[in-house]
Amino acid sequence: MDILLYILILLLAGAITGFLSGLLGVGGGFIMTPIQYFLLVHIGVEANLAITISFATSLGIILITSIFSSRKHYANNFVVKKNIKFLIVSGFFGALSGALLSVHLDVNILQLIFAILCIGAGIWMFIIKYPENSELIASEKYKYILLGLCAGLLSGLLGVGGGIILIPIFCLVLKYPVHKAIGTSSTIIIFTSCGGLLMYLILGLYTSNLPDYCFGYINILQLIFISLTSCIFAKYGADTAKKTKPIILKYLHIILMLFIGLKMGGLF
C-alpha cells in the first residue's frame, strides 16, 4: 500500500472518531480498531498480533481524544462530579484486568458477548424514556463501582473507551440526563483507556516480532496520525452535542449501538 494512502486513511479515521467522541461521549474504538487491523494485516502483520496492536493503539488514541472532548464538556457543565471518583478508580482497574485477559481469551467470543450487550442496550434505550431532571441522579456508590468495573473490563478487552456501555447505564440506571451522561462518559473514558493502555504497554515489552514503529503493543505511527485529526474534531463534536436536542442524541446513540452490535456479531 502506498504510504500516502496509508496516512490519508489514518487521518480520515481520526476525524470520524474524534467527532463521534465529542458528539456522543464514546471512545471510537469500534471505528479505529477494524481500520487499524485491516492496515496491519495488509502490510503483512500476523492476524492475532494485528488485533492486539489495534486494541492497544486504539486505547492510546482514545486517551488523547477524550482529554480534548472532556475539557469541552466540562466547560459546558456537562460533567457530573458526584461519585465520579468511584467510577474513575474502578474503571482504571477494570481496564487493567481486561487488557490482561485479552491476551488469553478468544476474541471472537468476546466480540459476540459485546455484540449482544450493544444490541440489548440499544433496544432498552429505545423503549425506556430518558430522564431530564438532574435531581434524580442515583447516589448508591456500589452502582458506580460496578459500572466502572464493567466499562473498564470491556475497554481493556476490546480496545474501546467504554462509553458505549457507560452512556446507556448512566441514563437508564443512574438517571443522568443525556447531555450529562455524554460529558461524564468522556471524562471516565480517560481513565479506562489509561488503565488498558498501561497493561498493553507492559505486556508488549516482552513480545517479540512486533512490526516497525511499535512501543509495546502500541503502534506509534498510527497513534500519531489518527490522533492529529481526532483531537481537532473532538472539540467540534462536543460543540455540536451542546446544540443538539437530547432526543436526537438519544436516537443517534441507539443507531450507533445497534450498528456496532450487528457488525461485531458478524451479521454484515
Say yes or no to pLDDT of 66 above 70: yes
Which pLDDT score is estimated for 135? 60
- pLDDT bucket at 84, cuts 50 / 70 / 90: very high
Q: What is the mean pLDDT of residues 197-214?
A: 90
CA–CA dist 9, 138 (Å, integer): 42
- Give the side-chain half-sphere CA count within 13 A for 57: 31
CA–CA dist 69, 124 (Å, integer): 26
Q: What is the mean pLDDT of residues 167-174?
A: 84
Say yes or no to pLDDT of 6 above 70: yes
Highest mean pLDDT among 33-37, 64-68, 191-195: 191-195
Which pLDDT score is estimated for 222? 95
Dihedral of CA atoms 107, 112, 117, 123 in degrees, nearest 10, equals 150
8-22, 103-117, 190-204, 217-231: the lowest-pLDDT one? 103-117
Q: What is the mean pLDDT of residues 152-181?
A: 83
- pLDDT bucket at 154, cuts 50 / 70 / 90: confident
Three cell numbers written together for 54:
489495534
Secondary structure (DSSP) of the chain: --HHHHHHHHHHHHHHHHHHHHHHS---HHHHHHHHHHHHHHTT--HHHHHHHHHHHHHHHHHHHHHHHHHHHHHTT----TTHHHHHHHHHHHHHHHHHHHTTS-HHHHHHHHHHHHHHHHHHHHHSPPP--GGG----HHHHHHHHHHHHHHHHHHT--SHHHHHHHHHHTS---HHHHHHHHHHHHHHHHHHHHHHHHHHHTT--SPPTTEETTEEHHHHHHHHHHHHHHHHHHHHHHHHS-HHHHHHHHHHHHHHHHHHHTT--
Which pLDDT score is estimated for 214? 94
Say yes or no to pLDDT of 41 above 70: yes
Dihedral of CA atoms 163, 166, 172, 177 in degrees, nearest 10, equals -70
For the chain, the average pLDDT equals: 87
Which pLDDT score is estimated for 97? 92
35-49, 153-167, 184-198, 218-232: the lowest-pLDDT one? 153-167
The whole-model pTM stands at 0.84
Q: What is the mean pLDDT of residues 157-181?
A: 83
- Between 253 and 248, whose confidence is greater? 248
- pLDDT bucket at 91, cuts 50 / 70 / 90: very high
Which pLDDT score is estimated for 85? 94
Q: What is the mean pLDDT of residues 174-200?
A: 90
Three cell numbers written together for 167:
452512556
CA–CA dist 246, 46 (Å, integer): 43
Say yes or no to pLDDT of 128 above 80: no
106 conformational bin, left if phi > 0, alpha if psi -120 to 50, beta if neither:
beta
69-83, 158-172, 174-188, 208-222: the lowest-pLDDT one? 158-172
Round the CA-based radius of gyration of the chain to a whole number and report it. Answer: 17
Which pLDDT score is estimated for 198? 93
Which pLDDT score is estimated for 24? 85
